[in-house]
Amino acid sequence: MNDEANNTEQAVANNNFSFSIASIYIKDVSFETPNSPQIFMTQQQDTFEIGMELANKAMQLGEGLYEVTLTLTVTAKVKGGDKTAYLIEVNQAGLFNIANMEQEHLGWMLATYCPKILFPYARQTISDLVTKGGFPLLLLAPVNFEAIYNNMQREQAAKAGQPADA
């Protein structure tokens, strides 16, 4: 864990700021089965390779009000081939009230804490879409947003030619 994460966790422990969830909602959802109905004629359990991409975007809407959008894209392809069984994209969003937080900690909150809250909602939506689409149940593994954030910080520091803790 880096110094910023430690400092932010210390701020959380000391209750130096206020945080609340104003709303959690699906901003956009897409489910495609480009090779149906043929895909159902050859489908068997464990015949798909699952790929997942994720992105996170935060935008300030007003004083202390932020919208965070977590985008998950899941692609299932037939193993050993290039036929896509299904493609799902979910934009799960939330409105978060964050007041009295120092700017240096805000980025960490918007990139780790808020997406961690949104992920279970997106995961459930994807699972529901997969089963309603006629495919075997899909449960996505948890995501470590802190590790992703730390890696991103290290990459940015390396590009700038600075040590990772700078």
DSSP annotation of 35 reads T
Give residue 122's pLDDT. 98
Checking DSSP bridges between strand 65-78 and strand 18-32, what pairing results, if any?
unpaired
pTM tops 0.75, yes or no: yes
Q: Give per-residue pLDDT as tens, 66-111.
A: 999 999 999 999 887 788 999 999 999 999 999 999 888 899 999 9
**Encoded tokens for 18:** 């206020």
AA letter at 55: A
Give residue 62's pLDDT. 93
Quickly list DSSP for 106-157: HHHIIIIIHHHHHHHHHHHHHHHHHHHTT-----PPP--HHHHHHHHHHHHH
- Domain extents in the chain: 3-160
Q: Is it the case that residue 160 has pLDDT exceeding 60?
A: yes
Checking DSSP bridges between strand 48-62 and strand 18-32, what pairing results, if any?
unpaired
Nearest to 144 by CA among 23, 46, 27, 5: 5
CATH topology of domain 3-160: Bacterial Protein-export protein SecB (3.10.420)
